[in-house]
Amino acid sequence: MLTDLLASIVVLYVVVDPIGNIPLFMAVTSKLDATRRRKVLITSVAVATTILALFAVFGISFLSYFGVGIGDFMVASGLVLTAFSLYYLLRPYEQGAVSEGVEIAVVPLAVPFLAGPASISYVLVVSSHIGPLLALVVVAAASFLTLITLMASSLLTRLLGVLGIRVLEKIMLILSVAIGISLVRRGILMWIA
């Protein structure tokens, strides 16, 4: 059980991809002073954590109301995770418009970058496998790691450079593709069994 818990935390951290989101975080907060940047960061992680926690606790019941089984959801979430990961892996880097308000903490930082379709899908799968309470532990731990990573974004950018951050982002996206394919495979095996 501890191994499943630790593996789930690592996988959710990879799916949320805070390292890959460092360039976005730096870009959208570049005009903010250090205090406002920290407030945006804490708000975005708190909003994303709340969304993921709600899906961890209520998501499976909500889906079962519509007759969606675990195997169905594993295939669907695997396809979503694979598609999003491939999209971000293969797209050219674009720097979006920069906003100065705290609203950037919610869009685009919290949703869709931290709590997007891929991370929500994975949280639902984790909740179905290890239960809602342990899924909340996974969400809390991955969110804490995400917060620490993004708080160290300036330091990581100085140490690794933009190119180093982008290389790490691509590696994490390749891992996300592999995780998505694994979810599809496991969901299909559930259909067959």
Tens digit of pLDDT for each residue in 41-65?
A: 999 999 999 999 999 999 989 888 9
Domain coordinates in residue numbering, the chain:
2-192
Q: What is the pLDDT of residue 150?
A: 95
Q: pTM, whole model, 2 decimals? A: 0.83
Share of the chain above pLDDT 70, in %: 95
Neighbours of 113 (CB within 10 A): 21
Q: What is the pLDDT of residue 173?
A: 84
Q: What is the pLDDT of residue 56?
A: 96
Q: What is the pLDDT of residue 93?
A: 61
End-to-end CA distance of the chain: 23
CA 77 to chain centre: 13
Mean pLDDT of 24-39: 86
Q: What is the pLDDT of residue 70?
A: 79
Q: Which CATH number fits domain 2-192: 1.10.10, 1.20.1250, 3.40.630, 1.10.8?
A: 1.20.1250
Q: What is the pLDDT of residue 100?
A: 52
Residue among 44, 77, 48, 45 at smallest CA distance from 60: 77
Q: What is the pLDDT of residue 66?
A: 93
Mean of per-residue pLDDT scores for the chain: 88
Tens digit of pLDDT for each residue in 60-102?
A: 898 889 998 878 888 988 898 888 888 878 877 655 544 555 6
Residue among 47, 16, 30, 192 at smallest CA distance from 98: 30
Tens digit of pLDDT for each residue in 152-188?
A: 998 988 998 988 888 888 888 898 889 889 889 988 9
pLDDT greater than 90 at residue 134: yes
Q: What is the pLDDT of residue 101?
A: 54
Using CA atoms, how far residue 92 sits from 9, 55, 128, in Å, is 29, 31, 35
Neighbours of 100 (CB within 10 A): 13
Tens digit of pLDDT for each residue in 138-161?
A: 999 999 999 999 999 989 889 989
